[in-house]
Chains A and B, each alone.
Chain A
């Protein structure tokens, strides 16, 4: 049974750096991309970025200048840093596993396991 457990600071001031970590329990840590997704209160979901066990990353261009995702394979953990936060960054942040199913030599990618979510509020 795969479980993702996440933690990090919940209240930040503008211009500070958001920092969250997600630990993966059960299942393989390699062979997957590990993802961060956020959801502002009452709004929809926004993909932030992903990393694999080799440290290869992809970021949302809208956040790329402020985002760093890192991995610690010795602990089966990955982390998110978002710099220079503003009130617009207030959201519930989720970590998730990027899984895939293969049909006809094509990989169909989805998010199949999620963390419990962390509310991060930015306020002066």
Chain B
């Protein structure tokens, strides 16, 4: 299976900050990388697909980049509603599709 490793595991930031979360794949996955946001007690929400394509309705302050094995999710100016846990997920080749362990973004 392809292993996905996120860093950091947790992050404290303030409203208005720019934050970056990193995801690394155990082998090249081209651009087959998605990002999700999950709030407590809720299902994950798709933010970014194909590494850099913003899902419809997602604010433009979310940006995804990268290809191959290294990817980043950047939030340009944190809003109060952005404090959540973020997961990357690869959809390269055949299943199983695997997720990173998550990055919890907390208010400083």
Contact = CB atoms under 8 A, between A and B. Distances in A.
A103 B89 contact: no
B95 A60 contact: yes
Contacts, number: 64
B87 A62 contact: no
Contact of A114 (B32, B44, B53, B100): B44
A33 to B, nearest CB: 9
A47 B45 CA distance: 15
Given A44-B87, A112-B55, A61 B46 contact: no
B87 A111 contact: no
Interface in A70-124: 94, 96, 101, 103, 106, 108-112, 114-117
Nearest to A57: B95
Contact of B46 (A46, A59, A111): A111
A63 B18 CA distance: 39
Contacts of B89: 45, 110-111
A21 interface: no
A58 interface: yes
Interface residues of B, number: 27
A62 B60 CA distance: 37
B102 A47 contact: no
A110 B32 CA distance: 9
Contacts of B45: 114
A116 B43 contact: yes
B39 to A, nearest CB: 12
B49 A58 contact: no
Contacts of A94: 43-44
B98 A108 contact: no
9 contacts: A45-B102, A49-B95, A59-B95, A62-B96, A103-B50, A108-B53, A110-B46, A111-B89, A112-B55
> Which 8 residue pairs are nearest across A and B when measured between Cβ atoms?
A114-B43, A108-B50, A109-B91, A110-B49, A45-B99, A60-B96, A58-B95, A110-B34
Interface of B: 1, 30-32, 34, 36, 42-46, 49-50, 53, 55, 87, 89, 91, 94-102
Interface of A: 44-47, 49-50, 58-62, 94, 96, 101, 103, 106, 108-112, 114-117
